[in-house]
Structure 1
Amino acid sequence: MAVIDIRRSHKKPLKAAKTAVERVAKSIAKEHGIAHHWDGDTLVFDRSGVKGHIAVGKGDLHVRVELGFLMSALKPMIEREIERKLDEQLA
């Protein structure tokens, strides 16, 4: 199993940061069929071969994604895509 672990700081209010993360999640869900839901300030997502969360805090966020065996080969591409989308939304 491969793990993606991304930490980002941000200057948005908590509500705005959660809105930005929701936009990222909806975009990824539309493209890849990944279901997600909020548990407090943490967005939880999963799909066959992929599960993880994005914990949103005041001033930072933490993304953790666990990839199953078959998805592990796509780790670099998935990691770049998550980083790109986060950077777009948190700018």
Structure 2
Amino acid sequence: MARIDILHPHTRSADEARAIVDGIAAQLRDRYGVSGAWQGDSVQLSGPGLQGQVELLPRQVRVTAELGFLLSALRGQVEAEIRRVLDERLD
């Protein structure tokens, strides 16, 4: 199993960051069948071959994920896509 751990800084307010992360979770659900449920300041993600969370921290977002066997082979691509989305939405 491969692990992803990304800490991404941002300049958004807490409410803006939460709305953006909520939108990302909705997009994951629609595209890939990944469920996301808020628990405090974190979205717990679960889907085929993926378990993880997106945690809202002061001025940062932390994404952690454990990738299953099939996604482990694509770890670099998955991590690059996560970084791209965070760069686009949380600059």
TM-score band, normalised by shorter chain: over 0.9
Shift of 1:48: 2.6
Contiguous gaps of at least 5 residues in structure 1: none
- Residue 36 in 1 paired to residue 28 in 2? no
CA-to-aligned-CA distance 1:4-29 (integer Å, 9 cap, x gap)? 11001111111111111111111222
CA distance in 1, matches of 2:84, 2:25: 13
Counterpart CA distance in 2 for 1:48 and 1:25 is 15
Aligned pairs, number: 91
Distance 2:41 2:25 in 1: 14
1:62 aligns with 2:62: yes
Secondary structure, aligned partner of 1:21: helix
Describe the superposition over 1:43-91 as per-residue Cα deviations: whole angstroms up to 9, x where unpaired. Answer: 1110131000011012111100100112101111111111111111112
Where does residue 15 of structure 1 map in the other structure? Answer: 15
| Aligned residues with identical type, % of pairs | 35
TM-score, normalization by structure 1: 0.93
Cα distance in structure 2, aligned partners of 1:27 and 1:87: 16
Matched residue type, 1:79: E
One-letter code of the match for 1:52?
Answer: G
Question: Match for 2:39: what amino acid?
Answer: D
Superposed displacement of residue 32, structure 1: 0.8
Report what 2:25 is aligned to.
Answer: 25
* Contact map agreement 2:28 2:35 (CA 8 A) in 1: no
Q: Distance in 2 between matches of 1:66 and 1:78?
A: 11
Dislocated runs of 4+, deviation >4 Å: none
